[in-house]
Amino acid sequence: MHLATCRTGKVFILYDADSVCDAESAPQIGPSLFDPQYWQHAGRVVGQAPGRGSSLFLDVGGEQWVLRPYRRGGLAARISTTRYLWTGLERTRAFREQRLTAHLFAQGLPVPRPVAAGVNHHGLSYTAALITVRIRGARALAERLADAEQELLERVGATVRRFHEAGLDHVDLNARNLLVDDDDKVWLIDLDRCRLRPPGAWREANLERLDRSLAKFGGAEAMAAIRRGYACDDAG
Protein backbone atom coordinates (compact mmCIF):
# COMPACT_ATOMS: atom_id res chain seq x y z
CA MET A 1 0.00 0.00 0.00
CA HIS A 2 1.34 3.40 -1.01
CA LEU A 3 -0.38 6.46 0.44
CA ALA A 4 -0.05 9.64 -1.59
CA THR A 5 -1.56 13.10 -1.33
CA CYS A 6 -2.85 15.54 -3.91
CA ARG A 7 -4.68 18.83 -3.93
CA THR A 8 -7.26 20.28 -6.31
CA GLY A 9 -8.28 23.78 -5.26
CA LYS A 10 -9.60 23.49 -1.72
CA VAL A 11 -9.91 19.69 -1.83
CA PHE A 12 -7.13 17.60 -0.28
CA ILE A 13 -6.98 13.85 -0.96
CA LEU A 14 -4.99 11.14 0.79
CA TYR A 15 -5.22 7.98 -1.30
CA ASP A 16 -3.82 4.52 -1.82
CA ALA A 17 -2.24 4.73 -5.27
CA ASP A 18 -2.57 0.98 -5.81
CA SER A 19 -6.30 0.81 -5.03
CA VAL A 20 -7.24 3.78 -7.18
CA CYS A 21 -5.06 2.81 -10.13
CA ASP A 22 -6.39 -0.77 -10.09
CA ALA A 23 -10.04 0.31 -10.16
CA GLU A 24 -11.47 -0.11 -13.64
CA SER A 25 -14.21 2.50 -13.46
CA ALA A 26 -12.89 5.10 -11.03
CA PRO A 27 -12.53 8.75 -12.03
CA GLN A 28 -9.15 10.43 -12.04
CA ILE A 29 -7.89 11.47 -8.62
CA GLY A 30 -9.93 14.52 -7.71
CA PRO A 31 -13.10 15.79 -6.04
CA SER A 32 -15.36 13.59 -8.22
CA LEU A 33 -14.16 10.55 -6.26
CA PHE A 34 -16.26 11.76 -3.32
CA ASP A 35 -19.23 13.11 -5.27
CA PRO A 36 -22.31 10.84 -4.96
CA GLN A 37 -23.84 12.46 -8.05
CA TYR A 38 -20.82 11.49 -10.15
CA TRP A 39 -21.30 7.84 -9.25
CA GLN A 40 -25.07 8.01 -9.67
CA HIS A 41 -24.79 9.56 -13.14
CA ALA A 42 -22.26 6.88 -14.06
CA GLY A 43 -24.70 4.17 -12.93
CA ARG A 44 -22.19 2.80 -10.46
CA VAL A 45 -24.19 3.03 -7.22
CA VAL A 46 -25.30 -0.51 -6.34
CA GLY A 47 -26.62 -0.02 -2.82
CA GLN A 48 -26.69 2.01 0.35
CA ALA A 49 -25.82 1.19 3.94
CA PRO A 50 -28.01 2.14 6.89
CA GLY A 51 -26.85 4.82 9.27
CA ARG A 52 -26.48 8.54 9.73
CA GLY A 53 -24.00 9.02 6.89
CA SER A 54 -25.92 7.20 4.14
CA SER A 55 -22.86 5.38 2.82
CA LEU A 56 -23.04 4.32 -0.82
CA PHE A 57 -21.81 1.06 -2.33
CA LEU A 58 -19.98 1.68 -5.60
CA ASP A 59 -19.18 -0.74 -8.42
CA VAL A 60 -15.69 -0.03 -9.74
CA GLY A 61 -15.20 -3.17 -11.79
CA GLY A 62 -13.23 -5.85 -10.01
CA GLU A 63 -14.40 -4.80 -6.57
CA GLN A 64 -16.85 -2.55 -4.77
CA TRP A 65 -16.12 0.51 -2.70
CA VAL A 66 -17.95 2.14 0.21
CA LEU A 67 -18.24 5.93 0.05
CA ARG A 68 -18.94 7.26 3.55
CA PRO A 69 -19.44 11.00 4.16
CA TYR A 70 -18.70 12.27 7.64
CA ARG A 71 -21.84 13.31 9.48
CA ARG A 72 -22.30 14.82 12.91
CA GLY A 73 -24.74 13.45 15.46
CA GLY A 74 -26.04 14.58 18.81
CA LEU A 75 -26.03 18.22 19.88
CA ALA A 76 -23.32 19.19 17.38
CA ALA A 77 -25.68 18.35 14.52
CA ARG A 78 -27.84 21.31 15.52
CA ILE A 79 -25.06 23.58 14.31
CA SER A 80 -24.07 21.58 11.23
CA THR A 81 -24.43 17.96 10.19
CA THR A 82 -21.49 18.01 7.79
CA ARG A 83 -18.99 20.68 8.83
CA TYR A 84 -16.12 20.27 11.31
CA LEU A 85 -13.72 22.81 12.81
CA TRP A 86 -10.51 23.15 10.79
CA THR A 87 -7.40 22.72 12.94
CA GLY A 88 -5.02 21.50 10.25
CA LEU A 89 -5.10 18.95 7.46
CA GLU A 90 -3.49 16.06 9.32
CA ARG A 91 -5.89 16.60 12.22
CA THR A 92 -9.00 16.19 10.06
CA ARG A 93 -11.07 13.13 10.86
CA ALA A 94 -10.76 11.74 7.36
CA PHE A 95 -6.97 11.92 7.16
CA ARG A 96 -6.57 10.50 10.66
CA GLU A 97 -8.91 7.59 9.94
CA GLN A 98 -7.26 6.89 6.58
CA ARG A 99 -3.78 6.73 8.11
CA LEU A 100 -4.93 4.63 11.07
CA THR A 101 -6.77 2.17 8.83
CA ALA A 102 -3.76 1.90 6.54
CA HIS A 103 -1.51 1.24 9.56
CA LEU A 104 -3.72 -1.58 10.83
CA PHE A 105 -4.21 -3.01 7.34
CA ALA A 106 -0.44 -3.15 6.88
CA GLN A 107 -0.21 -5.24 10.06
CA GLY A 108 -2.58 -7.81 8.61
CA LEU A 109 -5.48 -6.90 10.88
CA PRO A 110 -9.01 -7.43 9.49
CA VAL A 111 -10.01 -3.91 8.47
CA PRO A 112 -11.31 -2.83 5.05
CA ARG A 113 -8.60 -1.75 2.66
CA PRO A 114 -8.54 2.07 2.68
CA VAL A 115 -8.86 3.71 -0.72
CA ALA A 116 -9.03 7.47 -0.26
CA ALA A 117 -9.88 10.25 2.17
CA GLY A 118 -11.12 13.57 0.87
CA VAL A 119 -11.23 16.87 2.74
CA ASN A 120 -12.86 20.05 1.39
CA HIS A 121 -11.49 23.10 3.24
CA HIS A 122 -13.95 25.94 3.86
CA GLY A 123 -12.06 28.61 5.81
CA LEU A 124 -12.58 27.77 9.49
CA SER A 125 -14.36 24.49 8.72
CA TYR A 126 -14.19 21.46 6.46
CA THR A 127 -16.31 18.64 5.09
CA ALA A 128 -14.95 15.17 4.45
CA ALA A 129 -15.60 11.68 3.13
CA LEU A 130 -13.84 8.32 3.17
CA ILE A 131 -13.69 5.47 0.65
CA THR A 132 -12.83 1.89 1.60
CA VAL A 133 -13.09 -1.44 -0.18
CA ARG A 134 -16.37 -3.22 0.55
CA ILE A 135 -16.06 -6.58 2.30
CA ARG A 136 -17.89 -9.09 0.14
CA GLY A 137 -20.75 -10.94 1.80
CA ALA A 138 -20.26 -9.16 5.12
CA ARG A 139 -23.13 -8.68 7.55
CA ALA A 140 -23.14 -6.82 10.83
CA LEU A 141 -22.76 -8.96 13.93
CA ALA A 142 -26.08 -7.44 15.03
CA GLU A 143 -27.73 -9.32 12.15
CA ARG A 144 -26.04 -12.62 13.02
CA LEU A 145 -26.83 -12.76 16.72
CA ALA A 146 -29.98 -14.88 16.35
CA ASP A 147 -28.10 -17.81 14.80
CA ALA A 148 -24.52 -17.14 15.93
CA GLU A 149 -22.73 -20.26 17.17
CA GLN A 150 -20.41 -20.16 20.17
CA GLU A 151 -17.38 -20.64 17.92
CA LEU A 152 -18.22 -17.52 15.94
CA LEU A 153 -18.78 -15.46 19.07
CA GLU A 154 -15.48 -16.61 20.50
CA ARG A 155 -13.86 -15.61 17.22
CA VAL A 156 -15.36 -12.15 17.67
CA GLY A 157 -13.71 -11.91 21.07
CA ALA A 158 -10.39 -13.13 19.72
CA THR A 159 -10.54 -10.53 16.95
CA VAL A 160 -11.22 -7.71 19.39
CA ARG A 161 -8.28 -8.95 21.44
CA ARG A 162 -6.01 -8.77 18.37
CA PHE A 163 -6.91 -5.13 17.89
CA HIS A 164 -6.38 -4.37 21.55
CA GLU A 165 -2.97 -6.03 21.45
CA ALA A 166 -2.15 -3.72 18.53
CA GLY A 167 -3.15 -0.77 20.75
CA LEU A 168 -6.42 0.19 19.05
CA ASP A 169 -8.92 1.97 21.27
CA HIS A 170 -12.15 1.68 19.27
CA VAL A 171 -14.34 4.39 20.75
CA ASP A 172 -17.53 2.98 19.20
CA LEU A 173 -17.14 -0.78 19.49
CA ASN A 174 -20.63 -2.10 18.82
CA ALA A 175 -22.48 -4.91 17.10
CA ARG A 176 -22.77 -2.93 13.86
CA ASN A 177 -19.08 -2.09 13.57
CA LEU A 178 -18.14 -5.77 13.77
CA LEU A 179 -18.82 -7.54 10.48
CA VAL A 180 -18.88 -11.24 9.63
CA ASP A 181 -18.27 -12.37 6.06
CA ASP A 182 -19.40 -15.51 4.24
CA ASP A 183 -16.43 -17.44 5.64
CA ASP A 184 -17.26 -16.32 9.19
CA LYS A 185 -14.19 -14.11 9.29
CA VAL A 186 -14.67 -11.17 11.65
CA TRP A 187 -13.85 -7.61 10.56
CA LEU A 188 -13.76 -4.28 12.37
CA ILE A 189 -14.92 -1.09 10.64
CA ASP A 190 -15.53 2.62 11.31
CA LEU A 191 -12.31 3.83 12.92
CA ASP A 192 -13.42 7.47 13.08
CA ARG A 193 -11.97 9.11 16.24
CA CYS A 194 -10.20 5.88 17.20
CA ARG A 195 -6.56 5.94 18.25
CA LEU A 196 -3.58 3.87 19.26
CA ARG A 197 -2.85 3.75 22.98
CA PRO A 198 -0.78 1.78 25.50
CA PRO A 199 -2.66 -0.88 27.52
CA GLY A 200 -5.12 0.56 30.02
CA ALA A 201 -8.68 0.71 31.34
CA TRP A 202 -9.92 1.69 27.87
CA ARG A 203 -9.84 -2.00 26.87
CA GLU A 204 -12.49 -2.92 29.41
CA ALA A 205 -14.44 0.20 28.48
CA ASN A 206 -14.50 -1.03 24.87
CA LEU A 207 -15.86 -4.42 25.97
CA GLU A 208 -18.49 -2.83 28.19
CA ARG A 209 -19.64 -0.70 25.27
CA LEU A 210 -19.95 -3.81 23.13
CA ASP A 211 -21.90 -5.51 25.92
CA ARG A 212 -24.41 -2.65 25.96
CA SER A 213 -24.71 -2.80 22.19
CA LEU A 214 -25.42 -6.54 22.22
CA ALA A 215 -28.15 -6.02 24.79
CA LYS A 216 -29.69 -3.36 22.57
CA PHE A 217 -29.94 -5.91 19.75
CA GLY A 218 -31.31 -8.64 22.01
CA GLY A 219 -28.04 -10.57 22.25
CA ALA A 220 -26.83 -9.90 25.77
CA GLU A 221 -26.11 -13.59 26.33
CA ALA A 222 -23.53 -13.53 23.51
CA MET A 223 -21.06 -11.51 25.59
CA ALA A 224 -20.02 -14.50 27.70
CA ALA A 225 -18.70 -16.37 24.64
CA ILE A 226 -17.09 -13.20 23.27
CA ARG A 227 -15.24 -12.72 26.55
CA ARG A 228 -14.06 -16.34 26.46
CA GLY A 229 -12.58 -15.77 23.03
CA TYR A 230 -11.06 -12.50 24.17
CA ALA A 231 -9.40 -14.13 27.19
CA CYS A 232 -7.93 -17.03 25.22
CA ASP A 233 -4.12 -16.94 25.36
CA ASP A 234 -3.80 -17.71 21.65
CA ALA A 235 -6.40 -15.12 20.61
CA GLY A 236 -5.98 -14.25 16.95
Give how many domains the chain has, as a whole number. 2
Looking at residue 26, what is its pLDDT?
72
Kindly state whether residues 45 and 124 are assigned to the same domain.
Answer: yes
Range of the domain at 166: 139-231
Kindly state whether residues 38 and 108 are assigned to the same domain.
Answer: yes
Looking at residue 157, what is its pLDDT?
98
Looking at residue 29, what is its pLDDT?
85
Kindly state whether residues 109 and 16 are assigned to the same domain.
Answer: yes
Domain contains 196: yes
3-state secondary structure at position 8:
strand
The domain that contains 198 carries what CATH number? 1.10.510.10
- Cα 77 from Cα 10, distance rounded (Å): 23
Rounded average pLDDT per 10-residue block, the chain, 236 residues? 93 90 74 95 91 82 93 65 94 98 98 97 97 95 96 98 98 97 96 97 98 97 98 70
Query: What contacts 153, CB < 8 A, 6 or more positions away?
Result: 222, 225, 226, 229
Domain contains 113: yes
Looking at residue 18, what is its pLDDT?
81
What is the b/e burial string over 92-117, where b = at least 16 CB atoms within 10 angstroms of the residue's CB? bbbbbbbbbbbbbbeeebbbbbbbbb
Domain contains 186: yes
Kindly state whether residues 182 and 101 are assigned to the same domain.
Answer: no
Kindly state whether residues 95 and 186 are assigned to the same domain.
Answer: no
Task: State which of 116, 133, 150 marks the end of a domain.
Answer: 133
Kindly state whether residues 119 and 34 are assigned to the same domain.
Answer: yes
pTM over 0.85: yes
3-state secondary structure at position 100:
helix
Kindly state whether residues 117 and 203 are assigned to the same domain.
Answer: no
- Cα 109 from Cα 3, distance rounded (Å): 18
Kindly state whether residues 16 and 83 are assigned to the same domain.
Answer: yes
Kindly state whether residues 190 and 160 are assigned to the same domain.
Answer: yes
Task: State which of 87, 114, 133 marks the end of a domain.
Answer: 133
- Cα 38 from Cα 21, distance rounded (Å): 18
**Cβ–Cβ < 8 Å for 179, 189:** yes
- Cα 111 from Cα 54, distance rounded (Å): 20
Q: Following DSSP, what letter does each residue of 162-203 receive, concatenated?
A: HHHHTTEE-TT--TTTEEE-TT--EEE---TT-EE--SSTHH
Query: What contacts 134, CB < 8 A, 6 or more positions away?
Result: 57, 63, 64, 65, 66, 112
Looking at residue 17, what is its pLDDT?
86
Kindly state whether residues 17 and 102 are assigned to the same domain.
Answer: yes
Domain contains 164: yes
Domain contains 236: no
Kindly state whether residues 215 and 180 are assigned to the same domain.
Answer: yes
Looking at residue 27, what is its pLDDT?
75
Task: State which of 99, 133, 167 marks the end of a domain.
Answer: 133
Kindly state whether residues 109 and 151 are assigned to the same domain.
Answer: no
Active-site residue numbers?
A: 172
